[in-house]
Amino acid sequence: MTPNLVDSHCHLDFPDFEGEIEDIIARAAKVGVNRMVTICTRLKNEPSVRAIAEAHAPIFYAAGTHPMSAAEEPLATVEELVALSKHPKMVGIGETGLDYHYTSESAQIQKDSLRIHIAAARETGLPLIIHARAADDDMARILSEEHANGAYSCVMHCYCSGAELAKTSLDLGFYLSMSGIATFKNSQEVRDIFAAAPVDRVLVETDAPYLAPTPYRGKRNEPAYTANTAEVGADVFKMDFADFAAQTTANFDRLFSKAAAHKAAA
């Protein structure tokens, strides 16, 4: 029996996939990846990302300003994000976050943008989607401060930061998402962080077209390869593959409840 998986984070509006969406969905379905969330990283692109979700039943979307773009784009407003969230297939806020590896010079703008997205997540009840790189201390502090101001839900997408930020995130009730990075030979530390997490707080994703898992490393990633990451995840948690797939899908439905409700109503 084919397992039921969800690619919780991909970028299907990128040029890498132009003209191929139907084939990508078919290849994903063949290995049990039956839903996917495509992520808008610049709000000016939201109409085209939304159109992909509208045209394809298995695809949902999220919208926000990526931290690496925060200095190049107009600062989003809470009102703008809340208005976008009214769409029935818009199921998350982001991705947002902090990236000091490539764009540390825009740190303050990134922090301002992050807090706006958190406020929108709090108001809409949709999960926040976080990108964090080389910014663990500031990320942990802001997430904690804001959670103290009012609860919100969150997934730490493509988690490959340190153990302390993982602990802070889990203590706040957040989720960690496993990407193809967890399949790389030199990623034992990432696997160890996931192994220490509650399995009911773990999602799987591709971040396609980036970070293709082993054995596709170095090639274009796509939602079907969620299955390869989930196989490694099952090994990390010492679970049967089908059971791990079912668990991560249940986790997705709990966090992305709007997507689950849409599916149920379909």
Three-state SS string over 89-144 comes to CEEEEEEEEEECCCCHHHHHHHHHHHHHHHHHHHHHCCCEEEEEECCHHHHHHHHH
CATH of the domain at 179: 3.20.20.140
Residue 50 lies in a domain: yes
> Do the domain assignments include residue 116?
yes
For CA atoms 147, 151, 156, 162, the dihedral sign is positive
**Is residue 132, in this structure, part of any structural domain at all?**
yes
pLDDT over 80 at 250, yes or no: yes
Q: In which domain, by residue range, is 257 found?
A: 7-265
- What pLDDT score does 62 carry? 98
In a domain, 1, yes or no: no
**The pLDDT of residue 12:** 98
Distance CA 253, CA 258 (A): 8
In the predicted model, what is the mean pLDDT of residues 215-230?
A: 97
Query: Dihedral of the CA atoms 251, 125, 94, 15 (nearest 10)?
Result: 70
pTM over 0.85: yes
77 lies in a domain?
yes
Q: Is residue 189 situated within a structural domain?
A: yes
Cβ atoms < 10 Å from Cβ of 173 = 12
> What are the C-alpha distances in Å from 265 to residues 2, 59, 125, 135, 259?
23, 15, 19, 40, 10
128 within a domain of the structure (yes/no):
yes
Mean pLDDT confidence for 43-60: 98
pLDDT in tens, 69-103: 999 999 999 999 999 999 999 999 999 999 999 99
pLDDT (average), residues 180-198: 97
Count of domains forming the chain: 1
- Note the pLDDT tens digit of each residue in 119-131: 999 999 999 999 9
Whether 2 maps to a domain, the answer reads no
Look over the chain and give the mean of its residue pLDDT values, rounded to a whole number: 97
The pLDDT tens digits for 147-177 are 999 999 999 999 999 999 999 999 999 999 9
